[in-house]
């Protein structure tokens, strides 16, 4: 496995780059905007293709690199379903899995620091975001934080992992890089409480100043989504209503870009062809399935995904591959459902 812990000294943020092999797919956790150049250089040096960028929660102390990395590498952006970010490619919830070639992260909903805080466990290690820090815990006094919820996330979820599990947090301000569940259980001063009430009282008396750039950073992180209005101006976009009306039309071919797990969980559209986004370039090449189907049937390909990001990127990729008769459903299946469109369960 390729594993890199990357540090942003300005915000004290740790970002993690994961991949199973050189030449393969990579995932990054909690990237920082200002470090995008460095990540891209490292990806190139290690011969990796970034396919997923994940934030453990909506950060208040640094601007996320999710949007920038999506624009540069066409990767998928991922956050929890509770996140107030306007658009991400995929939203996950407790029990889901985030997969790339050769690696699988188990999604754990661990609210408390914020109401959209997630941890991700993978074999011998867990990425705890700002829920559990090394000899500390994330503050719970803004962004719908809750010391009560955090106690539950830590004591009833994270500390139930095997004691030797490596703990990789999203921040450290003292220079510590890694801990273990057992070590934190015994030596984390915040965890030496006898009851949930004692923890709530402890967290209520921290009296921390607000993060320096909070008023700028939080709104920036909420507007991370891919702007889909450019495609609309070019006539390459259907809104949910128009898409619903086109259902069953013989000159349209719906193409579902989501992963099998998303289709199983949220359903799909009647008659849709499944062509997962990660292999879009393959599918659009001469001889590729989308290329062939478009040529054989003369139908207009209408891409859709969960929220419209992957489909917007697919329209651009199709155009670059010389396939111009495509469009996407703005807002994805989410907008479709909200407009009352019928969903087929697979």
Q: Which residues are near Fe ion by CB under 5 A?
A: 130
Nearer to Fe ion, 12 or 182 (CB): 12
Give min distance, CB of 125 to Fe ion, in A.
19
Shortest distance (Å) from residue 214 CB to Fe ion: 10
Residues in the chain: 346
User: Using DSSP, how many helices (H) and how many strands (E) does the chain show?
Assistant: 13, 19
Closest CA to 269 of 172, 335, 215: 335
Nearer to Fe ion, 130 or 309 (CB): 130
Return the number of the residue (64 or 283) whose C-beta is nearest Fe ion. Answer: 64
Asked whether the CA dihedral 310, 128, 137, 161 is positive or negative, the reply is: positive
- Compute the least distance from the CB of residue 170 to Fe ion, in Å: 7
Dist CA 278 CA 170 (whole Å): 27
Of the candidates 50, 24, 103, the residue with the CA atom closest to the CA atom of residue 15: 50
Q: Report the C-alpha gap between 62 and 220 in whole angstroms.
A: 9
> Quick one: 32 or 43, whose CB is closer to Fe ion?
32
Q: Which residue is nearest to Fe ion (CB)?
A: 130
Q: Where are the beta strands (DSSP E) in the chain?
A: 2-8, 13-19, 25-29, 49-54, 76-80, 90-92, 97-100, 103-109, 118-122, 125-129, 132-133, 136-137, 166-169, 179-180, 237-238, 252-256, 273-274, 300-304, 326-329
Cβ closer to Fe ion: 11 or 326?
A: 11
Q: Which is nearer to Fe ion, 143 or 283 (CB)?
A: 143
User: 173 phi and psi, to 5 degrees?
Assistant: -115, 0
- If the CB atoms of residues 16 and 336 are measured against Fe ion, the closer one turns out to be 16
Q: How many CA atoms lie within 13 A of 94 on its CB side?
A: 9
Q: How far is the CB of 215 from Fe ion (least distance, A)?
A: 15
Cβ 116 to Fe ion shortest distance, Å: 10
For 235, list phi and psi in degrees, rounded to 5.
Answer: 75, 25
In this structure, are residues 232 and 96 in contact, taking their beta carbons and an 8 Å threshold?
A: no
Least distance between Fe ion and beta carbon 122 (Å): 20
Name the minimum Å distance from CB 138 to Fe ion.
Answer: 6
């Amino acid at each position: 496995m390729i594993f890199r812990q990357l540090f942003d000294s300005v915000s004290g943020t740790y970002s993690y780059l994961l991949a199973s092999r050189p030449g393969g797919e990579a995932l990054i956790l909690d990237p920082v905007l200002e470090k995008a150049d460095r990540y891209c250089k490292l990806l190139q040096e290690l011969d990796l293709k970034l396919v997923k960028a994940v934030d453990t929660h909506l950060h208040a102390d640094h601007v996320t690199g999710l949007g920038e990395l999506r624009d540069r590498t066409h990767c998928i952006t991922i956050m929890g379903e509770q996140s107030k970010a306007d658009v991400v490619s995929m939203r996950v919830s407790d029990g889901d899995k985030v997969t790339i070639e050769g690696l699988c992260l188990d999604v754990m909903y661990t609210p408390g620091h914020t109401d959209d805080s997630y941890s991700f466990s993978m074999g011998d290690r867990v990425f705890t975001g700002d829920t559990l820090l090394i000899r500390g815990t994330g503050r719970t006094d803004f962004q719908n934080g809750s010391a009560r919820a955090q106690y539950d996330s830590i004591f009833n979820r994270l500390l139930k992992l095997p004691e030797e599990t490596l703990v990789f947090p999203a921040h450290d301000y003292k220079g510590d890089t890694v801990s273990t569940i057992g070590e934190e259980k015994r030596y984390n001063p915040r965890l030496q409480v006898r009851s949930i009430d004692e923890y709530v009282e402890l967290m209520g008396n921290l009296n921390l100043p607000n993060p320096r750039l909070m008023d700028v950073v939080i709104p920036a992180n909420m507007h991370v989504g891919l702007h889909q209005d450019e495609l609309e101006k070019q006539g390459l976009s259907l809104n949910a209503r128009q898409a619903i009306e086109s259902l069953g039309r013989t000159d349209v071919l719906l193409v579902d870009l989501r992963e099998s797990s998303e289709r199983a969980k949220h359903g799909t559209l009647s008659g849709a062809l499944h062509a997962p986004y990660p292999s879009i370039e393959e599918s659009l090449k001469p001889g590729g399935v989308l290329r062939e189907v478009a040529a054989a049937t003369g139908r207009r390909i209408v891409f859709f995904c969960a929220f419209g990001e992957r489909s917007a990127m697919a329209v651009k990729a199709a155009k670059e591959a010389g396939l111009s008769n495509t469009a996407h459903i703005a807002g994805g299946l989410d907008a479709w459902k909200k407009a009352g469109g019928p969903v087929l369960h697979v």
